[in-house]
Structure 1
Amino acid sequence: MKTKRNIGRIAVVICLCTTVMIGCKKFLTVEPIDRLTGNNFYQSKEDVESNIARIYSQFFEKLNESWVVGAIGEARSGEIFPSPTSGTNRMILRDLGTNDMNAVYNNTLSGGRSSGYAMYQVSIWDTYYKVIQSCNILIAKLDEGISGLSAADKDRYKAEATFMRCLSYFWMVRLYGDVVYYTDAYFAKQLPREDMVSVISKSIADLESVKDMMPWTFGEASQRGARASRGSIIALLMHMKMWNANFDSANATKYYESVASLGKELRASGVHHLYKLTPEEWAKVSKGRTEESLFEFYRTINYNDQNNDYAPLWDHFLRWPYKFPRYNQQFSIAYYSSIFMYRIYPLNGPADKRKDLWYEDMYANDGSFVLKKFAANVFASGNEDSNPDNTFMIFRYADALLLEAEALANLGGARESEAISVLNIVRDRAEAPRYAGGGTDLKNFIFEERCRELIGEGVRYFDLIRTRRILNPQWTMNPMTIDQYNRRAWTWPLDASAKNFNSKIVLNDYWTGGN
């Protein structure tokens, strides 16, 4: 594998070495209280900025542990395979693609076959709770009053901290299912895991209470996308409501109506838009901090930050001349199966600029396959063993548009024409034929459009779970039975360390009781 590379730090970071985290009881294995409760902290706007920066940085630590985004949001659907030229440590892709998560866990422990991936760390949730605690305490301190903050500042910081808290809970729910939920600043009580629908419902209410307190923009291009905004909150709300629409089906219509309303609000703001699909314009999107970004972890070599060698999702799907140096980058590490690629882009199918701009050898079942969607920002020297310099995108405008279209299609009736209109915003950008249809075909087409538009962005597996298409081999090469689905075979194993300081924690039964 390549040597470590310096990339960048999150744009909002002022000085991470001055920031600290706060803790309460050790049952979540958090940092001690004395790290943040001194009288010399939370005394100024600079202190708040520093803590917000640390919150972003800590969340990114979990994404930076290994090929996290690719593993949790893409590979488990079964369409990704290691190239024939890849080493045995890449067999983890096979384990992910067959949902053999105990093997993924065990084979990435120290000394295991795929130890470089360190995927066992995905099963450890401590860092998310550190983020949550820091958000809880910051919100409490803001309510107490901090010198030098205007009312608008207080509202914005409170909304920003609430966004990161809710993002943490949503992220954990998609990984582990039920989680421990709390919002008190200095929480000391041991609690059992709470039903995930309840956690998401509480997070939705929490986020809705601050949505309108968050500005659409900050007036600085350097913070666009890289710092939470109202668009970020809307995107997270849309995702949470679409998740609950499946698992809380009695209230599905209510969720769909709200998602449709949120999407309309986002479009009406005029703040976000799709960039043209040209090499120059798409390079800006993948680089980060554009009006197409709703939320991202901005990374750039110009800030001399470090990424884990394995962390960039696009690492697995690039080869020379999109990755350097030439002598050891002749083949991509992995590829998307031609079965899947023919499904979303039939041979001799309709025109679509994404096919030419984002792929090379797109039907190849070997290392010649390239997903060059993330290949634009290459180092000029070509002498480093490194990846292109791109952001870690969490929410993108096209994603929100397609969620809105999906919600409208599920409402049916007269709302279908609205769904088609929003869907065709994405189709028009791709210079693909406009969709005309309805009913079940419309719903299926929107799902496939999400596959086409969002490939490699870590959402496909979660789309399969929340729409229940994971149960149908028509939509995935790794289908589940309804029994597996109901027993939550889609979760990750929860590491036993979660029980160390909380006797009420029960691990994920599917991965401990035999499957």
Structure 2
Amino acid sequence: MKTRFKINKALGFILLFAMVFTSCTDDLDITPNDDQTTLSEDLYVDEGAYKQVLAGIYANLALTGTDGAGSSNLKNIDAGTSQFGRVLLYTQTLAADQMIWSYENDPGTRELQRNLWTAQNPLLLGMFSRAHLSIALANDFLRETTDEKLDAREVSSSVRSEIPAYRAEARLMRAMAYYYMMDLFGQANFTTENDALNSQLPAYGRAELFNFVESELLEIESDLIGARQNQYGRADKAVAYMILAKMYLNAEVYINEDRYSDCVSYCDKIINSGYSLASNYLHNFMADNNTNSAIEEVIFPIVSDGITTQNYGPTTVMINGAVGSIEENGTEVGVGAGGWGGALRVRKQFAQLFDGAFGDDDRNTLITEDRPIDISDISDKDTGYIIQKYSNATSTGGFGVDQTFVDTDFPLFRLADVYLMYAEAHLRGGGGSASTALGYLNSLRTRANNPAILTSGEMTLDYILDERARELHWEAHRRQDLIRYGRFTGGNYNWAWKGNGSNGIALPAHMALYPIPSASLAVNPNLTQNPGY
């Protein structure tokens, strides 16, 4: 079992519901589905509660309820459609050109992977609601940790010395939730700890969300713990830098402004914070990625543990789902031999990125034997290649503690992405050094034991887009990347089953944003449906 920041039922979810009890959940279209609540004043009698409540904010990224992996604290929303990492993976990866989910009777998956979604899609409601619950939890923690509240409770000086960093982390988690809302939906119900409970919330658009997230992350920098100095699983300065770098890289999409030089600057900040690439690419995706060489590369994980944080999150889904229908390769990756019977496969266009010089690249974990590359029928699980990137095995030859719920943390942010962002922002006119950018790209090739050295003439934006797919596939980045490159909507790049065509068809421009869920519109009249829906 992993040693880390204790994001478990005892130190996370009991408190998560205590906070939800006092949060403005009605205005956020979030209804607590649990009766294990404690009034705040009673909760904070124990000074250890402050750190425990902070753990609850992080717990919302991993867990969905108090009664096991199938429980949900969001009323009328299934656990499988609202686990933060899973719905993020679906909205950013399943909806693009890398992944196919075989079981299309699972709510919402058919519409996402065929680009047929509507405002009634349950996965979109799950993403919208889970992100807003993060906001509500952070707001509640901030309300309960003001100087006035701490004075009234006569909190000890030792605990009070920790509060500024705790509050900065809560604000960072709230900013991250707003960042994803800006990226996926272009809107959010906007509230902070300064708003009255149960007040009618304004809706913020992309420009307002961009400005808020940017200002928040800049303002809290001095209170955040230094990069790589916090407990594993908790955010630090580098996480704030990472969100800023990604915002600046995508600023032309979000606010129609060129911020590439800022992207380069914040990539530099992260790179100079002491991170290094894991010695083995696959260490980033193994059951001991909190202790093996990935600890040097991963900037922020979503924690997973086969005992204390059992959930149907992204790594559990990908490891069980990537066991083939005919291969029974589950014993190799630390789950049941048959896994989930071929639930996940890859689309042809992604598989082809490993042709030629990338065939023996360590990042190529495709299993192709006895399988055609094409998926002409999504229900035929014996077609299409499968992939074995994620594993519930350890770097030392062991396995996770459970054969379904994995120990593998999801690497939400890692250094390899920073190298790729630096190179792309440089090529887009953001400054920096061409030789430095080329060095970063070649370090990824070298780490993957690819003997082909990239030359300066080969360092193009098209190369970087493909390299991002090879390096970062199934890490919840692809939709965002394709939109930034102008290849998600329209017909200049089609992939298998794009727009529900077996060979892909053009998507209308409005699909670069998801619709605001109908249930959320009904709760807050200040939200407006995105154009085209």
Q: Residues 89, 416 of structure 1: CA spacing in aligned structure 2 closer, same or farther, 3 A cutoff? A: same
Deviation sequence 1:100-127 (CA, Å, 0-9, x none): 013x956xxxxxxxxxxx636436x334
Describe the SS at the equivalent of 1:295.
Answer: strand
Query: What is the correspondence of 1:175-254 to structure 2 with a 5 Å cutoff?
Result: 175-187=184-196, 188-216=198-226, 223-224=231-232, 226-249=233-256, 251-252=257-258
2:318 matches 1:313: yes
1:369 aligns with 2:385: yes
Instruction: Evaluate the alpha carbon distance shift between residue 192 and residue 370 of structure 1 in structure 2; reply closer, same or farther with a 3 A threshold.
Output: same
The CA distance in 1 between the partners of 2:243 and 2:444, in whole Å, is 20
Q: 1:330 to 1:197 in 2, by over 3 A?
A: closer
CA RMSD of aligned residues (A): 3.8
AA partner of residue 74 (structure 1) = T
| One-letter amino acid of the counterpart of residue 323, structure 2 | L
User: Residue in 2 aligned with 1:267?
Assistant: 271
Q: Is the 8 A contact 1:287 1:377 kept in 2?
A: no
The one-letter code of the counterpart of 2:519 is S
Measured in 2, the distance between the counterparts of 1:335 and 1:482 equals 22
Tell me which of the two structures has the higher relative contact order, counting C-alpha pairs closer than 8 angstroms and 6 or more residues apart. 1
TM-score by length of 2: 0.77
Q: CA deviation at 1:496?
A: 2.4
Q: CA deviation at 1:451?
A: 0.5
Label 1:37 to 1:330 Cα distance change in 2 as closer, same or farther (>3 A): closer
User: In the alignment, which residue of structure 1 is the partner of 2:532?
Assistant: 510
Going from structure 1 to structure 2, the CA distance change for 1:305 and 1:282 (only over 3 Å counts) comes to: closer
| 1:297 counterpart letter in structure 2 | I
CA-CA distance at 1:199 after TM superposition: 0.5
Give structure 2 stretches of 5+ with no counterpart: 65-77, 374-381
Q: Residue 409 of structure 1 aligns to which amino acid in structure 2?
A: L
TM-score when scaled to structure 1? 0.79
Task: Say which of 70, 77, 83 aligns to 2:96.
Answer: 77
Alignment partners' CA distance in 2, 1:232 and 1:154:
19
Q: Quote the residue 1:163 is aligned against.
A: 172
**Which of 2, 6, 23 does residue 11 from structure 1 map onto?**
6
Q: CA deviation at 1:166?
A: 0.5
Q: C-alpha separation between the residues in 2 aligned to 1:167 and 1:403?
A: 18
Distance across 2 between alignment mates of 1:148 and 1:396: 37
2:6, 2:28 → 1: CA distance? 29
CA distance in 1, matches of 2:422, 2:319: 27
Structure 2 match to 1:300 = 305
Q: Are positions 1:401 and 2:419 aligned together?
A: yes
Question: 3-state SS of the aligned residue for 2:412?
Answer: strand
Matched pairs, number:
474
Aligned-residue offset at 1:38: 4.2
Alignment of 1:308-387 (within 5 A): 308=312, 312-319=317-324, 320-322=328-330, 324-326=335-337, 328-329=338-339, 331-342=341-352, 344-347=353-356, 349=358, 352-355=361-364, 358-361=365-368, 364-365=372-373, 366=382, 369-377=385-393, 386=404
- CA deviation vs aligned residue, 1:264-316 (integer Å, no higher than 9, x gap): 1111121x211112666763664677222111121112x43321388633433
Native 8 Å contact 1:8 1:305 kept in 2: no
Tell me if structure 2 keeps the 8 A contact 1:322–1:375: no
Conservation of the 8 A alpha-carbon contact between 2:98 and 2:473: no
Q: Closer, same or farther in 2 for the Cα pair 1:131/1:8, shift >3 Å? A: farther
TM-superposed deviation, 1:256 = 1.3
Q: Deviations over 1:103-156 (max 9, x none)?
A: x956xxxxxxxxxxx636436x33433321332232344342532355652321
Match of 2:454 in 1: 435
The one-letter code matched in structure 2 to 1:131 is: S
Correspondence for 2:439: 421
Which structure features the higher share of helix residues?
1
Aligned position for 1:494: 516
What corresponds to 1:112 in structure 2?
none
Distance in structure 2 (CA, Å) of the matches to 1:382 and 1:504: 46
How far did 1:334 drift? 2.6
Residue 99 (str. 1) matches residue 115 (str. 2): yes
Match of 1:459 among 477, 480, 484: 477
Q: What's the offset of the Cα at 1:41?
A: 4.1
Confirm or deny: 8 A CA contact 1:331 1:368 kept in the other structure.
no
Does the C-alpha gap of structure 1 residues 445 and 332 become closer, same or farther in structure 2, counting only changes over 3 Å? same
Q: Is the 8 A contact 1:135 1:164 kept in 2?
A: yes
